[in-house]
């Protein structure tokens, strides 16, 4: 193999530059030396939507989009979904290694210690309008948690970081469940720490008059697997928000509020909600061809299809599709599954989708499962946010401990006016 470098010739000046290549990347700052004269600022790379720019060096999640591969800390997602549980995966993402028995017990115990919310948080949730979107409530309430934990500002203190990580992972399900129950007009159900992380989440959502809520083991496991699949996905929109906002050294509760807001968008985590609305609109398999025709004509998108990174099947979608049948054995079958499967079959045979490498993504089937469990559509993105919290925290911590990271501050290519003098209002137009 030749030298690990790139020789660039600037045709404006005829000068050549040697730029080193490390781990398949050049450093954008190395372009700055390329100038037409001493007054020149130097060459920038222009990359709207960061299509080909690495903003960090990470050891957390690996994706090979062409081959449909996803690993957390080197472990294939299929193995983790089959053999692990959400809190163990969270530990892995945060610490880099699978825990021993003692470490897992300790970590699980620490999370359980923090599942309660300050009673004033309840009043905060109460303040939202009765039909407020649960994602809006989650974004607002998790941001408000920073006011309850002023010590979260000590982001350079390892012990404080560990505490906030525990707190946020423990409290996100409680905030999410309170938001759900507020919208339903139900009394809040407090955490039951005898249950597992996911069992307790189901308890806080669905407990009615029974003294003790007993989660169905199939549904509890389904939520656990869905949470594992959603736990991290490297530098996506919400994780970039976490890193970008966190780089200002704000406390992690405020940064998580920003990440959750990014996740809310319909092109990101909000897509699971859009998929269900779309499937309901299609209604039956007979209407699929006309719907596909509209999508191909540019009148809307096939929600839950396509991905910036995956250009073959999203491995998470494959696992989720398998869980659906297990869940339907316990719940009533969701008839929308037939519409979804037929939609997928037709789309995957269609030239438009084949050419653009559009396959179902993680959001295509998750909502159908959640809906069958009795979870309303507006909670889908909230569940995604609860699960992604461990990934956001792992990425936040990695960013803080990376000596190369500074406050995130992209450049721009300015295309506006040159300097001009202010025109008094009577002389304008
Ligand atoms: N339905 C129909 N056409 C699509 C879709 C879709 N879902 N996704 C992409 N395309 C088409 C585009 O129109 C474009 O076609 P063109 O080349 O003829 O203009 C081409 O495929 C490339 O699309 P881009 O928008 O450039 O792809 P990008 O990588 O920017 O977008 C995204 C990825 C946002 C996920 C997109 O595929 C999409 O909007 N999907 C639907 C929303 C969705 O499911 N989001 C969830 C993603 S997973 C997650 O965030 C958890």
Position 273 pLDDT exceeds 80: yes
Residues 334-364 have pLDDT tens digits of 889 999 999 999 999 999 999 999 999 988 9
Are the beta carbons of 358 and 305 closer than 8 angstroms?
A: yes
What DSSP character marks residue 50?
A: G
**Closest residue to atom 16 of ligand 1, CA basis:** 356
Round the average pLDDT of the chain to a whole number and report it: 96
Reported confidence tier of residue 409, pLDDT bands at 50, 70, 90: very high
Q: Is the pLDDT of residue 313 over 90?
A: no
Q: How confident is the model at residue 1 (pLDDT cuts 50, 70, 90)?
A: confident
Measured from the Cβ of residue 168, the count of other Cβ atoms closer than 10 Å reads 24
CA 69 to ligand 1 center in whole angstroms? 19
Can you tell me the mean pLDDT for 300-321? Answer: 91
Output the CA 403–ligand 1 centroid distance in Å: 35
Confidence of residue 321 (pLDDT cuts 50, 70, 90): confident
Residues 283-299 pLDDT 10s: 999 999 999 999 999 99
Under the banding of pLDDT at 50, 70 and 90, the label for residue 107 is very high
Active site amino acids:
268, 307, 363
Please determine, for residue 113, whether its predicted confidence score (pLDDT) is greater than 90.
yes
Quote the CA–CA distance of 250 and 335 in Å, as a whole number: 45
What spacing in Å lies between the alpha carbon of 303 and ligand 1's midpoint? 8
pLDDT for position 183: 96
Handedness of CA 67, 70, 73, 79 (dihedral sign): negative
List ligand 1's pocket residues with C-beta within 6 A: 267-269, 271, 295, 301-308, 356, 358, 361-363
pLDDT of residue 333: 87
**Protein residue whose Cα sits closest to atom 40 of ligand 1:** 306
pLDDT of residue 159: 97
Average of per-residue pLDDT across 108-116:
97
Atom 44 in ligand 1: residue holding the nearest Cα = 304
168 within 8 A of 260, measured Cβ to Cβ: no
Separation between Cα atoms, residue 387 and residue 215, nearest integer Å: 18
Q: What's the CA angle centered on 268, arms 262 and 269, to 5 degrees? A: 85
Q: Among 15-24, 75-84, 301-310, which stretch is predicted with the lowest mean pLDDT?
A: 301-310
**Percent of the chain, pLDDT > 90?**
93
Question: How does 206-233 read in b/e, with b if 16+ C-beta sit within 10 Å?
Answer: bbeeeeebebeebbbbbbbbbbbbbbbb
> For residue 216, how far is its CA from the centre of ligand 1 (angstroms)?
36
Sign (positive/negative) of CA torsion 37, 38, 40, 42? positive
Determine the pLDDT at residue 325: 87
pLDDT above 80 for 371: yes
Question: What pLDDT shows up at residue 213?
Answer: 97
Which pLDDT score, from 0 to 100, does residue 32 have? 97
């Amino acid at each position: 193999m030749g030298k690990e470098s790139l020789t660039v010739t600037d045709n404006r000046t005829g000068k050549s530059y040697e730029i080193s290549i490390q781990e398949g990347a050049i450093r954008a700052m190395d372009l700055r030396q390329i100038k037409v004269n001493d007054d020149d600022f130097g060459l920038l790379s222009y990359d709207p939507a960061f299509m080909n720019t690495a903003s960090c060096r990470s050891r957390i999640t690996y994706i090979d989009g062409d081959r449909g591969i996803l690993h957390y800390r080197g472990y294939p997602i299929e193995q983790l979904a089959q053999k692990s549980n959400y809190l163990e995966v969270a530990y892995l993402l945060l610490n880099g290694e699978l825990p021993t028995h003692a470490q897992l017990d300790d970590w699980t115990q620490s999370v359980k210690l923090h599942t309660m919310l300050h009673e004033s948080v309840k009043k905060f949730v109460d303040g939202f309008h009765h039909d407020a979107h649960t994602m809006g409530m989650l974004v607002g309430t998790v941001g408000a948690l920073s006011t309850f934990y002023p010590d979260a500002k000590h982001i350079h203190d390892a012990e404080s970081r560990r505490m906030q990580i525990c707190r946020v992972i423990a409290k996100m399900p409680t905030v999410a469940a309170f938001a759900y129950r507020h919208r339903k007009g139900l009394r809040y159900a407090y955490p039951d720490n005898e249950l597992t992380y996911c069992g307790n989440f189901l308890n806080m959502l669905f407990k009615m008059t029974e003294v003790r809520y007993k989660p169905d083991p199939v549904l509890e496991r389904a939520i656990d697997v869905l949470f594992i699949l959603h736990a991290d996905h490297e530098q996506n929109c919400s994780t970039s928000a976490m890193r970008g906002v966190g780089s200002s050294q704000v406390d992690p509760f405020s940064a998580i509020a920003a990440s959750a807001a990014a996740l809310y968008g319909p092109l990101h985590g909000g897509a699971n909600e859009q998929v269900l609305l779309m499937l309901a609109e299609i209604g039956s398999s007979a209407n699929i061809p006309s719907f596909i025709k509209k999508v191909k004509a540019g009148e809307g998108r096939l929600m839950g299809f396509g991905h910036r990174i995956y250009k073959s099947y999203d491995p998470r979608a494959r696992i989720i599709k398998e869980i659906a049948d297990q869940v339907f054995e316990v719940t009533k079958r969701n008839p929308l599954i037939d519409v979804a499967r037929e939609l997928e079959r037709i789309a995957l045979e269609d030239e438009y989708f084949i050419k653009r490498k559009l396959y179902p993504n993680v959001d295509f089937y998750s909502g159908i499962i959640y809906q069958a469990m009795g979870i309303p559509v507006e909670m889908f993105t909230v569940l995604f946010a609860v699960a992604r919290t461990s990934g956001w925290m792992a990425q936040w911590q990695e960013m803080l401990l990376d000596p190369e990271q500074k406050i995130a501050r992209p450049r721009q290519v300015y295309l506006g006016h040159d300097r001009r003098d202010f025109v008094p209002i009577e002389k304008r137009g």
